[in-house]
Structure 1
């Protein structure tokens, strides 16, 4: 799923993409119309979309070639080598204190404003209000972020000349179903450049599955209803396995005797066993009684170059919302700061950004050495981090589990 804000560098580069797009304006219109008529319309009809809806919504539709990350129709050509999503860059800038300090006051005000409603949402779905608000903040700044695009046009363009054409074709058909049902007008159906809609940034298929009408007006309105937005986020997390009564995780001191190569949800053990190995909460408090004998795992988003955590299963439910360790950690940390607005105890050590291409090359080399990096996708996930650490240890170095 495509969500989140871009770094300043990417923001500066996107206008260059837009300029390239303007040069292509009209170039693919005839081919795009053929694609809609011969591919989208038949599949949409088989999915239950009426001819009247198709005539109304697809009439005059043209591709938006200014969107970033497009390729030639049919998947030809190489995608741009720009990381448009902040979640997949080095972590230290993603966790700037100024971001949290700007989001915490608004979250606290909304927590008071919607106290009774949030209590009802939490009782129904089992998801804490602070988690709901933190996702809402990360996705759209509590609804304050500009959501500029015509969702249908974005999805149709991505289905026609995006890097995941088949995926977006399904999302386009889901969007047509939403418009047919009438929960939102075409004019109001706004999305990001990746097709994520409204304040919780749901893709259309997620909207159909998880959006709820919690304010009772008969419509599932994630564009302008704060109540529906909050309840829809909670419903999404509950449906993806949120465990009521558990937290997302805890910042810890990880002794050097505990290797960073043990990171990952497939290396879970009782938190009490980690305590027995010398792992302690940075707060100095013991782990809660309801957590100590439950499973947890080591989480090191920047290897030994940043804070360490013991994560619970709920951390990985947050990752169902956006497949990024840094995204889930941002949400969990912001949720904690609604209570006491304090930064992580450990700091993020300075590190250089790298490109997805360079990381992919490293992953291919590690695979060649027999390591499981989770696929050579150019993203530094936990399997890549611990593979780096294992290779470091094999060659006689202290494992840092990070590129360096």
Structure 2
């Protein structure tokens, strides 16, 4: 008489056998297999991932130990050290005209090619086509950038031995859901080394929330479909609060009488109030009438050493896509240049060369004086910029809101 094993034990044994070690195991392969068996597979089943999907996608999976920033199994190793001796780069380096001159013609061509589709995307999501194209350009060069990595392998490796294991465990489950849904094959599901997938560079969880099938072929294809890529970017921005009838911001002349210490989205006021204080657009045109009673804020990515802007809330929606002032400004500026390919009117003045370490030391000193610099990370965000300015004013200097 053959005794039958309990079904739970059968499934456990099957999982152990399924995730077998390859013939030549790497240093962490055995631990990685145990991680898949004990943490990923149970969580995936609970999330509705079928055993057939697990069998197909996790069999033979090994960690990619070549990825940057890994710390060791469980995320318990020492994190990579930030090179605080590295030069702190001026924002001007991010806005070289050569970059925009290379991106503008292709963007204009795509706008013409997809004009009808872009109008439909704009009508549905309220996001201007030029903003969509600019993000597409920045993220993947309109799909021309090489995106070589196996997305599932990347997020599984990050969950196993990266710096944010709990976060990436969720991304592994999301990636398995994508594969189970059949929108893309494993071979085609490519990502960056950080797990950002396809032309709009969505993490798997963002794909599940925001990717859309706009070309009507039944698949949400952000890898090879221009139409799905554009619509997915628009959907992302719409869901993050894009205001339909507003632009991202305006380059302005900021009078010396308006202190740079007033920068930041927490210092918004009506644009008409800025006008009364002498703030004008560099184009010489008035602010659009529908903007005057809407809020805006001062934006000075280089303090008084660079161009000045009045930003709307849409600037910060772009920042939700990538948490960087310079990223969001690059997108907004490129979007403007699809119309008239002109550089900023304001100039990036020569800035004192420094290091991230020196900036961090300055931030710590400012914190000691009671300023909120947004964290001593060696990066000059708006909280650090205005704190520098406040300290300059306190000591009797004209505030530049920049190091030096």
* TM-score of the two chains, using structure 1 as the length reference: 0.90
Distance 1:233 1:35 in 2: 34
What displacement does 1:64 show? 1.2
Greater mean alpha carbon deviation, residues 66-75 or residues 151-160: 66-75
Q: Which residue of 2 aligns with 1:292?
A: 292
Q: 1:322–1:328: 8 Å Cα contact kept in structure 2?
A: yes
Q: 1:69–1:80: 8 Å Cα contact kept in structure 2?
A: no
What displacement does 1:381 show? 1.6
What displacement does 1:384 show? 1.5
* 1:381-400 alignment, distance < 5 Å: 381-400=381-400
Q: Which residue of 2 aligns with 1:194?
A: 194
What displacement does 1:362 show? 3.1
Residue 93 and residue 337 in structure 1: after superposition, are their counterparts in 2 closer, same or farther (change >3 A)?
same
Distance 1:48 1:360 in 2: 46
Q: Which residue of 1 aligns with 2:365?
A: 365
Is residue 2:299 matched to residue 1:325? no
What displacement does 1:89 show? 4.8
Distance 1:146 1:354 in 2: 33
Distance 2:232 2:81 in 1: 34
What displacement does 1:171 show? 1.1
Can you give the 5+ residue segments of structure 2 that lack an aligned partner in the other structure? 1-24
Residue 115 and residue 354 in structure 1: after superposition, are their counterparts in 2 closer, same or farther (change >3 A)?
same
Higher Cα radius of gyration? 2
Q: Which residue of 2 aligns with 1:3?
A: none
Write the deviation string for residues 118-139 of structure 1: whole angstroms up to 9, x where unpaired.
0010011111111110110001
* TM-score of the two chains, using structure 2 as the length reference: 0.90
Is residue 2:54 matched to residue 1:54? yes
Distance 2:229 2:290 in 1: 30
Is residue 2:168 matched to residue 1:182? no
* 1:5-404 alignment, distance < 5 Å: 26-73=26-73, 74-81=75-82, 89-351=89-351, 355-404=355-404
What displacement does 1:354 show? 5.2
Q: 1:263–1:299: 8 Å Cα contact kept in structure 2?
A: yes
Aligned residues: 377
Q: Secondary structure at the match of 1:304?
A: helix
Distance 2:204 2:233 in 1: 14
Q: 2:352–2:403: 8 Å Cα contact kept in structure 1?
A: no
Q: Secondary structure at the match of 1:252?
A: strand
Q: 1:92–1:350: 8 Å Cα contact kept in structure 2?
A: no
Q: 1:140–1:199: 8 Å Cα contact kept in structure 2?
A: yes
Across the aligned residues of Structure 1 and Structure 2, the Cα RMSD in angstroms comes to: 1.8
What displacement does 1:374 show? 2.1
What displacement does 1:358 show? 4.3
Distance 1:158 1:357 in 2: 28
